[in-house]
Structure 1
């Protein structure tokens, strides 16, 4: 950075002395110095522009908008932006010359697929797996009609990318599912992303001691392999693919199991096992079932934690992914910071439980803006508040509970609120109900703002009767609540219509169960949310953007519904205001005006010009065809909310920018598929067809 003093030193000293003597008051500069300050500022602008021009010559450092221009210089095929950041595939342009040097090889097809779609892939020459009629003068013992099933892993891999069993020729083409033929290359794609959580505490499973769920929500969740990075272009091995683990794949190098003892955590010997019946492990070992995400230990093990890898369709709902790309809500720096971690040494501002940190915040004259930062992946199952009490927030108070990586302060010092939080690698679990209340006293205005960021909550989040101003959940998961076969709200606002009249509830990039605003006249906003349940907000205003709601929605006013999927009927009391655009709604929904929604748009295209109506049988056929189809909608399923490949294009490409409706719109998957089709046409060997198979 160039300063006015730097430029002044280039001038004769006499001019600087005259400037101060003639025009400058004591301690002030003269007009010459002020002029040099202006010139120095402009010099910085020129330097920065020169640096940008230098960066623009290289694909590794140029701005995103320059990537297509550099690609045009190489004659690279233009591609669509992809991913949550909607950026042009930079790597595809960088590797264009390498693609052309090895054009037509399996290694290029794999790397090309990774670069233009962002999905790991494995290419297989299907004709190399065809069974041969044996000739006496040319015997092929590995291409017999019957596979050798002696190695146990052969049966586990049949039908997948690592399948080596011989096949007979399929007559049907790739478009109809045919994989194996003389003119085929099979491209296996892995659409699920992998997330590795370090030192995550397991939770005891009901039914006896020594039984553990590796998932904090006590769900059976499959584990994945943590793939290694390939330094260059080449054929992918099993270790380089995010494949779901088989029971014979253990021990996996990316998995680490630790047991608690008198001297702390120690690594355990891991054996694979089918734990459907929760069988005990061998002596001095921990049995792990990677298919179910379960573990068993001896009865003397008091606690268990694991470093494991799971799969997800998109980083959503909290986890060890990078959340720094999103602002910490509500904005603005904190005035105080409290740290929580199981292995921290208790000190002023440092605690080993969330309950202790909340108690200190309540009784210690806390600052108006406070962050409680949880710095590990532990499960905090202690009651957060005394029985029957709520977390009181007063006017102007902002309390944020954040999962982030932060350093403990030096001895005798309080945690500093100044360094930005490193919101990555952490996802704390709150295994107790959380109740918050706004307490404005006699001020007559809404009180307080509670924000949760990066947390998993196994219990409900409740707003007690009062006058809370705002509740924000960002990158959080709140488990669906069930009791005696009845679905209960995961996020609930209690009280009458006089309570919480100005409450603003917002869920962003989160996963939750039912949301009930009760009698509150406030507002609810969902932005990129997967809701495993419905919405009940009879007196409130609701906004839903880029979300999937697996249940009914009832509200007073639906201000906006955009690029979303509603599996249950949508009912708005006031239908003269608000709108829905590019959404799918089931039959019987009562909503504000709709714009290019489905199946309305498909029905309008089938209208008989003579009568202005759609024939009933034709309408029934369209409604049966134009409906969302999901890989799964089960809570904690790796592909929850992911549209299936058979989902009709009216939904899979139904938004204004040609992306899919629902919570995974940000992935821009239709653009990824189109990039792949464009690129394969250029690099596929002549005379061959490609069969694309989605493994996950």
Structure 2
């Protein structure tokens, strides 16, 4: 009951009766007064909730932080990087189209009192570091790593340098999990130096996340007993899950953070498996690292599991269990592939390349499935991260579901046939799992809108029927692919209105054959026919080149990586986005990375990373903001870039600062200053190969002008949404607050 109703009910009945006789003007007056009374009551209630950090409004978080004596951290949820996406993609659920990054300032303030009660302890420092930056961290105590001169009456065997290292010790040497002790290092703990000092503490930040793939079908190689676990047929290293809360046995602490699964670590886990069994009893089914991934109760730290069809492959010694395949799991190098099958009932796994070989005594499965983790630099390309805001909103004319079980259709081709036979103008086909699905050679969207989207946390693989994996899109309608991996490429026919890819992966270099080589290297998207109204919109995608043989209206890229050149080489000599002859298409890009040359009619780019030449046909339109563009070579004027006006771009900004600091420099001295600064300020990437975990990711050695050169102080390029500089700054603030007196702290970003 509203305040107006309550006031009206308190009036005498005779007055209410007379008011009703004349059209209830008194009720209308009380309704106006009641609106203000309701607003006042809501404000009073809101003021009560603003006293608590859990329920207060965002603008009051800094005030509550001051009350408990802490400094608010940078909160990535306040970023406005999704403004363009919200305008362009108004048919999505939203309300936010920006991935979460780092710790919440509200949660940090809420934890302050509880953490301060443990201030000065190692566990509290590790906990604060983890929550401050939002990355998995490992605390390296210099006191426990430094070798001491031993007293004969009080020996410390763990602090001696004479212990014979094992294979695992050698594999972990130089990492945050190095178990050997060293002599004192008096340098400041920064990067890989200064770790070994009694008064030093180093926070090792593991910025790459472990992307989960749950029971996905593996790709069969050139022999029926050879498999690649990656569903796209790539040789990609497996990662540890990175579960800090799991109870890890001694020697396997390296599995507490997401990192490449080292063969020595995996082998040590498998060899320790017999020692975990009870005397005379059967072995437990999972080891620490090998087990049914996702089973929190029985395998909380499992990073790899293999199934033959629906039967789990396990090293247990209980052959009576017919629901499992009993095999000895071995860590082996399978690159190059062995000429013959391994002998016996064994499952050989190469964790460095993600390969599996089935032993001669095991039956070959119809489908080999794997649950494992890959390394990923950000939330790009689809996968196991939250995409709920990017799903189609509203009620479409037709909604079809596709899954192996419990769906409208079990194949995507059947769902497309049902869509083509119907009259619906707006159709959403939702794929509910991460299986492989075949696509027809072409899709016609004449006058219609078709959305093929993966359910949240899923990434199915779509395989077009042609041998080269080309999916031809015809008609004058709209096609949207969301959250899928396309094992092929897209070619558009004439008159298409819009092609939209959201959180998708189009394998640079095209699909792979059974040997892992590209079937036919080429662009990921080709516009072949005249499409003057075509708009190509890409958001949070990983793909190869975009080639426009005919003019289109616009290419929009948000938070994406466009990698040109062969899949196994660099992109320096190939177009990333280009038109044939005179460019006839406008390019609009925000927070994207281009590994190759770019040519367009007009260019409007912000916070982008261009690694090669940029050519804009019309330099009077557009702008280049907070971006990096390689400097021109004076010896090759024909290969110089042509750009619109630039604002706060690198290395121009760095060169201007150097020259302003030394205004007396002229001639050769001035040229030397410019050349040195241009050589210093250039992007350093971890890798240009898609199958590497650090694909298109900035190396920690990258200069700050690029690593923190975006408008809000984050990095330029596709991983701007990670907000790494701000999260590391949060970590530094908390270390200054929680470090014990006399201790020096350093931060190391692990690649």
TM-score, shorter chain, exceeding 0.5:
yes
Contact map agreement 1:258 1:266 (CA 8 A) in 2: no
Contact map agreement 1:629 1:646 (CA 8 A) in 2: yes
Per-residue deviation at 1:50? 4.5
Q: 1:21 to 1:633 in 2, by over 3 A?
A: farther
SS for the counterpart of 2:65 is helix
Per-residue deviation at 1:552? 0.6
SS for the counterpart of 1:181 is coil
Contact map agreement 1:393 1:436 (CA 8 A) in 2: no
SS for the counterpart of 1:112 is helix
Deviations 1:146-172 (A, max 9, x none): 23335x433332222222212112233
The alignment status of 1:217 with 2:224, answered yes or no, reads: no
Per-residue deviation at 1:529? 0.4
Per-residue deviation at 1:88? 5.0
Per-residue deviation at 1:92? 2.5
How many residues align? The count is 642
The alignment status of 1:576 with 2:620, answered yes or no, reads: yes
Distance 2:39 2:370 in 1: 51
Contact map agreement 1:492 1:517 (CA 8 A) in 2: yes
Deviations 1:223-247 (A, max 9, x none): 2233446499xx9955543233233
Per-residue deviation at 1:311? 2.5
Per-residue deviation at 1:546? 0.4
- TM-score (structure 1 length as normaliser): 0.84
Contact map agreement 1:504 1:524 (CA 8 A) in 2: yes
Distance 2:22 2:9 in 1: 19
- TM-score (structure 2 length as normaliser): 0.79
Per-residue deviation at 1:44? 5.8
The alignment status of 1:251 with 2:290, answered yes or no, reads: yes
The alignment status of 1:379 with 2:441, answered yes or no, reads: no
My pick for the range that moved more, 676-685 or 246-255, is 246-255
Q: How does 1:304-383 map to 2 (within 5 A)?
A: 304-326=368-390, 328=391, 332-344=394-406, 350-365=408-423, 367-380=424-437, 382=438
Deviations 1:584-617 (A, max 9, x none): 0112321111111111112222336468777332
Contact map agreement 2:445 2:477 (CA 8 A) in 1: yes
Q: How does 1:552-563 map to 2 (within 5 A)?
A: 552-558=597-603, 560-563=604-607
Q: How does 1:645-656 map to 2 (within 5 A)?
A: 645-656=700-711
Contact map agreement 2:261 2:352 (CA 8 A) in 1: yes
SS for the counterpart of 1:356 is helix
Q: How does 1:530-549 map to 2 (within 5 A)?
A: 530-533=561-564, 534-537=576-579, 538-549=583-594
Q: 1:339 to 1:135 in 2, by over 3 A?
A: same
Q: Give the corresponding residue for 2:168.
A: 153
Distance 2:199 2:174 in 1: 19
Deviations 1:28-81 (A, max 9, x none): xx6566667666766665565455334322223333332221111111023323
Distance 1:138 1:64 in 2: 56
Q: How does 1:632-643 map to 2 (within 5 A)?
A: 632-643=687-698
RMSD: 3.2
SS for the counterpart of 1:468 is coil
- Match 1:69 to one of 63, 79, 104: 63
The alignment status of 1:101 with 2:145, answered yes or no, reads: no
My pick for the range that moved more, 53-62 or 266-275, is 266-275
SS for the counterpart of 1:503 is strand
Q: Give the corresponding residue for 1:139.
A: 155
SS for the counterpart of 2:471 is strand
Distance 2:352 2:10 in 1: 72
Structure 1: state its 5+ residue gaps: 24-29, 405-423, 440-446
The alignment status of 1:301 with 2:365, answered yes or no, reads: yes
Q: Give the corresponding residue for 2:273.
A: none
Contact map agreement 2:495 2:534 (CA 8 A) in 1: yes
Q: Give the corresponding residue for 2:559.
A: 528
Contact map agreement 1:393 1:448 (CA 8 A) in 2: yes
Contact map agreement 2:311 2:323 (CA 8 A) in 1: no
SS for the counterpart of 2:701 is coil
Distance 2:384 2:5 in 1: 47
Distance 2:690 2:554 in 1: 26
Per-residue deviation at 1:353? 0.8
Contact map agreement 2:311 2:324 (CA 8 A) in 1: no
Q: 1:34 to 1:267 in 2, by over 3 A?
A: farther
SS for the counterpart of 1:606 is helix
